[in-house]
Chain A
Amino acid sequence: MRTLGPRSISSFLKVFLDISFGFIALFLLSLGAIALWSALHMANPALPTPTWHWGPNGPPMFVASPRGASGLPLFALYMLGLLGIVGRLRKIFITLVAGQPFQAENARRLRIIGLILAALEVSRYAVWAILLLCAPDSPVRDYRPNIDVVGLFAIGVMFVLAEVFDEGVKMRKDLDLTI
């Protein structure tokens, strides 16, 4: 199976990314709807209370409380970060399927993916610190965020790949002007 071009491994992976992008976008829209409903419910407790359960016999899950709703924006930001990563990967794979991977925009996209990954990694520690400050007696105090070595390596790999793509752009330009 070819790596680049139509009906290649890249085109198959692009389909997978398209589906993932759709699911994450749908999930974000659902989070937005839940957040809106929570806000309306807090303003008017007489509104009906939709309840979701974990599984058919599981405990109820509901986020109309201020504490529960406060977690939604953070979670939505995290999902937005994932959406940004998947969206940019999709665009890179579009160029792979077209057989023209070495473009300056791809190097820029890889750097942005690296920055988003770094932000998501830092946010883990930031959220833990904020929760510890705001709720020192909560179970958060027993949690210690570990250093995700794989995540840090992934960030490094993104920036290195961006440099590789920059060099690829230069080589392609030379090849285009080679008669």
Chain B
Amino acid sequence: MPIRVHLDRVLLERRMSLTELADRVGVTIANLSILKTGKARAVRFSTLDALCRELQCQPGDILMFNEGPPEPDDGESAD
């Protein structure tokens, strides 16, 4: 996916663990881990809002767009 998630970098800068962030944001550690590893399909604005508030950052600090072809979904082919 061309959208890269740099949550681990921001966590390191804020010296915060994933567990602590999960408790503050109200998202499970499993879901945050899915987001951190780039496996998430979508992020709700409410979640992004909570992340930015707790990490004191902008959405662009967590999410970055890299030019490239989109990865095909399951059962679909990339044209």
Contact = CB atoms under 8 A, between A and B. Distances in A.
A170 B73 CA distance: 10
The DSSP consensus for interface residues of chain B is: loop
A179 B49 CA distance: 12
A170 B27 CA distance: 23
Interface residues on A, range: under 10
A170 B43 CA distance: 17
A109 to B, nearest CB: 19
A174 B41 contact: yes
From A173, A174, A179, name the one whose CB has the most chain B CB atoms within 10 angstroms. Answer: A179
Interface string A102-117: 0000000000000000
Interface of B: 27, 31-32, 34-35, 39-44, 47, 73-75
The 6 closest A-B CB pairs, nearest first, are: A177-B41, A178-B42, A179-B35, A179-B31, A174-B41, A179-B40
